[in-house]
Each structure stands twice: as C-alpha cells, then as structure tokens.
C-alpha cells in the first residue's frame, strides 16, 4: 500500500461517527448491511450516514452493491488487510515472534472462556436488547447470580420497551440499572462462557459473531415488542414471554450448568496439563433447548 493511500484511509477514519460506521461494517463482515439498518443501529440520521459511507467508499474502505431497492454496504477486506500490513510489516524488524496477531485478543478471550472461573459469564443475545434478553438477564441474575455473572446485548440495540420494565418489576425485580447494550461491548473484550441466543434474527448471525463463546445455546422466544393491539393485549404478550423465559431458565438451572462448565474446564486442563487453547472454529449450536 502506498503512503498516500494509507493516509487517505486513516484520514477517513479520523472522525468518531465515521469510525463507528466503519467498525459496524467490520463486524458485519462480507455479507453487507443495508444503509437503513446501519442508520437505525448507530442512531445516525440517514443523510449523515450517507455522507460517511460515501467518504469510506472514496477512501477504498467500503463498497456497495444494490439488492432490490436497497444498497448493501460492506467492508473492503483487502484494504483493511493492507492497512494492517502497512502498519506492521516492519514491526520489530521482522521479529514476528515479538508481535501479536491482530486476532490475539479474541484468542485470549476464547482461552479465558475455557479456563476455570468462580462465576462464569452468561450473555443473553437478541436483535435489539429491548425485551427478551433484558428479561432473561434479570431473571437469571435473580435465580443464579451467585453462580453466574449475567449480562445481555443486542445486534442493533434500541431503547428498552417500557413493558419490559413493567413485567420485570411485577416479579419484584429492580429495573433502574437496566440499559440497552451493543454486542460490540463484549466482542473480543470479555470472555463469554455461555452465549444464549433468544431470537431467530440474532441466531442467523451469532454463530459468526460470537466465535469465542465456550458454549452457544439457542432458546428462541416470540418477540413481544411486535405484538399488535391495545396496551392490555401487548402487556399480556410480554407476560407470556416472561413466563416462558422464566420456565426455560428454571429447567436449565435444574441441570446445575455451573458444575457442567467446571467439569469441561477441568477436563480441558487435564488434557494439556494447563488450559487448552480453543480451536478457531464456530461453536456448535445446542439446539436441544428448543421450545
């Protein structure tokens, strides 16, 4: 990569909102993302997003292709690789053993996920982190907070639905600390011992974006946010989903999963004498949990 090309690319990334758009494209990978979904996820006005995308495309960092009436934007992976090579090809005068790979942190998180932990981390994932995953987080924290560190996140987080808070509070649980979180807060940053996907939409992507979870479970529940009708009918749908989540968690806890995780960690340690370095592969979905 020529220096002029690298400078143009880095200049395009030297703006916080544009950098956020670029990171969203990196996370989405080669499949691409509609501009509308990007605007909604990042909460950027459509006109502003269009400006940033044009800038990234002009710098060779992104590309677009038309799909029906929509434009799908995706990362130009070759440019990203060339940028990394541009920065690191002379690193440590060619001493590759002194330089970590760009994916080293993901490998470290995977290693931590199969290493013994007093309180393994459970991450509930859904599309928006506005209802199902929030309810699941609150219930599991109540029922097994002494065994697990519990959190939740969404692929495209939105504000928590007021009825989510209501049905949680009906169980006597606090909601003041609940916040909608982006999955990016966890990817490559925290070890995830168990990732539990609670919706169909998220399941389409999670095997690709949670590769470092030690175990990936699939518990699909109906999205109560999409319920139509009067507030009373919507509230009933939220209660039904809450009760279903509560029942599913109770059945899972009856198997004492924290002990199963410790057994897996122990076997991994015995196999190699220390913790086993996990293979770089997509975790197998546990579909036995289907309702």
Classify residue 240 as exposed, middle or buried by CB count within 10 Å of its CB (0-12, 13-18, 19+).
Answer: middle
Set 92, 99, 126, 151: catalytic member: 126
Q: Among 40-49, 54-63, 198-207, 240-249, whose mean pLDDT is lowest?
A: 198-207
Active site residue 99: no
Whether the Cβ atoms of residue 196 and residue 122 lie closer than 8 Å to each other: yes
Give the torsion sign (CA, 66, 67, 72, 76): negative
Model confidence at 96: pLDDT above 70: no
**Average per-residue pLDDT for the chain:** 80
Give pLDDT, residue 228: 82
Of 194, 206, 40, 44, the residue nearest 119 (C-alpha): 194
Residues 39 and 147 reside in one and the same domain = no
Model confidence at 244: pLDDT above 90: yes
Number of domains forming the structure of the chain: 2
Whether the Cβ atoms of residue 283 and residue 207 lie closer than 8 Å to each other: yes
Residues 173 and 245 reside in one and the same domain = yes
Give pLDDT, residue 95: 64
Residues 87 and 128 reside in one and the same domain = no
CATH (domain of 117):
3.40.50.2300
Q: What is the pTM of this model?
A: 0.67
CATH (domain of 23):
1.10.10.10
Active site residue 206: yes
What order do you get walking across the sheet with 194-197 strand by strand? 149-154, 121-126, 194-197, 215-218, 285-286
Kindly state whether residue 24 falls inside one of the protein's structural domains: yes
Distance between CA atoms of 121 and 149, rounded to whole angstroms?
Answer: 5
Residues 111 and 81 reside in one and the same domain = no
Give pLDDT, residue 160: 92
Give pLDDT, residue 224: 92
């Amino acid at each position: 990569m020529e220096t002029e090309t690298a400078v143009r690319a880095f200049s395009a990334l030297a703006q916080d909102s544009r950098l956020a758009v670029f990171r969203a494209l990196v996370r989405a990978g080669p499949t691409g993302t509609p501009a509308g979904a990007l605007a909604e996820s990042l909460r950027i006005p459509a006109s502003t997003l269009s400006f940033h995308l044009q800038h990234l495309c002009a710098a060779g960092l992104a590309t677009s292709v038309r799909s029906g009436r929509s434009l799908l934007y995706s990362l130009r992976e070759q440019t990203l690789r060339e940028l990394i090579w541009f920065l690191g090809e002379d690193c440590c005068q060619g001493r590759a053993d002194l330089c970590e790979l760009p994916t080293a942190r993901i490998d470290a998180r995977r290693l931590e996920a199969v290493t013994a932990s007093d309180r393994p981390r459970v991450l509930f994932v859904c599309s928006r982190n506005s209802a199902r995953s929030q309810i699941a987080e609150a219930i599991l924290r109540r029922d097994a907070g002494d065994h697990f560190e519990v959190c939740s996140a969404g692929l495209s987080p939105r504000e928590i639905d007021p009825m989510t808070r209501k049905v949680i509070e009906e169980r006597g649980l606090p909601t003041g600390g609940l916040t909608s979180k982006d999955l990016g807060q966890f990817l490559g940053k925290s070890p995830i011992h168990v990732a539990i996907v609670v919706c169909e939409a998220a399941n389409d992507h999670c095997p690709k974006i949670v590769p470092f979870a030690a175990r990936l479970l699939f518990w699909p529940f109906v999205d109560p946010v999409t319920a139509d009708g009067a507030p009373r009918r919507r509230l009933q749908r939220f209660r039904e989903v809450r009760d279903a989540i509560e029942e599913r968690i109770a059945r899972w806890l009856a198997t004492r999963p924290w002990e199963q995780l410790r057994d897996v960690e122990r076997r991994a340690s015995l196999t190699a004498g220390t913790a086993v370095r996990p293979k770089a592969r997509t975790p197998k979905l546990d579909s036995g949990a289907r309702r």
